[in-house]
Amino acid sequence: MSRALLPPLTLCWTALLLLLLHLAAASASRAHSCREVKTAFQLRQIGPLKWVPETPGTDVDLLVCKHDGPSCCTRKMEESYRVAVERETVQNIRSYSFELKFLLSGHATALQDTYQSLFSFSQGHLSSLFESVYSPLFSAVTPHVSTLFSDLSLFIRDASSNISVEATVHRFYDNLFPLVYTRLINPGMAAAASDGGDLSDCLRMTRQDMNPFGRHALAMAEELAEALQAARALTWAFSVGEEVMNGTEAAPLTKECTRALVKMQYCPHCRGLTLIRPCGAYCLNVMRGCLASLSELDMPWRRYVAILEDLTQAVAGEHSLELALLGIRGRVNEAILHAQLHGPRLTATVEKVCGHSLTETHSMQPTTIKMVPTVMDSSSLSTNQSDPPAMEQLGRLSHLRSSLPLKPTKNEKDRSLKQIAREFINYIGRYKAFFAALPEMLCEGEVVRDEFSCWSGDGVVESYAGRVVGNGVHAQRQNTEVKVRGADPMLSEVKDRLENFTQEIQESMPGLGNRETWEDLGSGDDASGECDDEDGCQGSGESTPRISLTDSTVTEVMKSPPHEPPVGRFNTGRNAAPLTLPTLTILILTLAVQWTLN
């Protein structure tokens, strides 16, 4: 019976042996196949599939991905890898820089739109003064009002224009004086002093010497010049920032860089290792070598961002620009009132200087039209209870301490200048160390954490043994992965552009952009330190711990959603804030209620 069972058992063992041999042969065939390399080549759209061999070759003449064993790569594949890795890296860099470019251009446009709204409102505000209070002047003064605001608007929009705010304001008052003198102070002289007449020309040319408007004309010129200077500089700063970002995107990668990138990302494919990722430290060396010239922009860029923050705060802080523009109506009204109150003196002076007397023109005695009985102080805005739009606008600006991280609203025009500025300051603070953190951000997309092995450029290892170099051209002398010959000329020009801008701004506006130390990366904290209920801040009266960043956290800050605060380290412990007044009040009231109930 045992002999009868022997043949079936032999057949079973034979079948099992054949199956194992078949599996081993299949596994061996896969090990010596370039099928996975071909799949990756196709998915990444690197080049034609016909360039990928079916099996590894041993006599391949490669320039970058050289090794002793068989290879699934050819010279054509290697060249395709070079083109692909250069394209992918440039796209990755632009994907990060696009966010920063959009931040600059988007807020520059938003601020310009807000400026234009302010100019339109202020122009209508001033025109309503002439229409309702000084109606004899309305038709003749309207072109001069339009010219005044168009020139002031152009002064902000075009930083290269040679417009002077002081000259623009004084020219407006030069044209206003003949109208006030002949239509309000001496109405009978209006016909004799028509535009182009000798009297009108004399009044226009001698206005500053006669000083009919007192100190109000000069005060208005000084206030507008100071308020508009920061807005003009901010427009210029946004333009420079966009130039810098365009220049950084146009800078090409060097041959040494692309060679190192191919070695890091695609040489493992030549060995059939399509899923292995580069070691983190190895990737950082490669990226810092490739972006060495770009990293040289780090310190100039930080100074630029500091100036950008200060200029934004200067434009929106305490609503200086809005109040200066809305104050034009009050200044003009006070100036006209001053001229009316000193009508007799002006008439006598004009008769001596310009040679026109009241008897020659059969004029009436000096008269005031709708004259306000009291003259307001020049530091206050002249508003009227019968002017609801003006009161509403000034009421909205009365909250001088506002804070709201801006989000797109249904009506973008409802956003105030300070709201846009606060949003921008909170956002731009996350990009202070953009050029220093860019290599690390690029590597985060290439490296997989918590892996037991990684690619070191020469093979699969547990960890990278090389030295990690710092940022900048000088630090690359110790970089064994990428040979950096020197700074890129195009990026050197971009760096000079930033430094020249900083120097010119600080010469014209001393103290702007100065910081105690440039070692801190900053956290994007609100530079103003202000927060109020108008903008929806929570706990505006409580002490908020400051946040500081290190190089290891800056990429997390840039990647954090816009509505979330930057990642950082909070200062806790002995310096923790004590109980605030509202908290103590609640405790006292609670004890009082309990004592009463008992």
Tens digit of each residue's pLDDT (9 = 90 or more) over 219-244: 999 999 988 999 999 999 999 999 99
The length of the chain, given as a count of residues: 598
Q: How many CB atoms lie within 10 A of CB 171?
A: 17
3-state class (DSSP) for residue 418: helix
| Dist. CA 598–CA 590, nearest whole Å | 13
For residue range 332-345, list pLDDT tens digits in order. 999 999 999 999 99
What residues contact residue 535 under an 8 Å CB cut-off, 6+ apart? 402, 403, 404, 418, 419, 422
Q: Are 479 and 288 in contact (CB under 8 A)?
A: yes
Q: What is the pLDDT along the chain (598 residues), one digit of tens a residue?
A: 444 444 544 544 454 444 444 434 333 334 468 899 999 988 888 888 888 888 888 867 888 998 888 899 989 999 999 999 999 999 999 999 998 999 999 999 999 999 999 999 999 999 999 999 999 999 999 999 999 999 999 999 988 888 999 999 999 999 999 999 999 998 877 655 555 567 888 999 999 999 999 999 999 999 999 889 999 999 999 999 999 999 888 888 999 999 999 999 999 999 999 889 999 999 999 999 999 999 999 999 999 999 999 999 888 876 678 889 999 999 999 999 999 999 999 999 998 888 765 545 544 444 444 443 333 343 333 333 334 443 343 343 333 223 323 334 444 445 678 888 889 998 999 999 999 999 999 998 777 666 788 999 989 999 898 899 999 999 999 999 999 989 999 999 999 999 999 999 999 888 887 775 444 444 333 333 344 444 434 333 333 333 233 344 444 445 444 333 333 332 333 333 333 444 444 444 444 545 444 4
Q: List own/partner pairs for 192-198 with CB under 8 A and 24 or more apart.
A: 192/356, 192/361, 193/356, 195/140, 198/354, 198/356
3-state class (DSSP) for residue 365: coil
The region that residue 160 occupies, defined by phi over 0 for left and psi between -120 and 50 for alpha, beta otherwise, is alpha
| Dist. CA 371–CA 374, nearest whole Å | 9
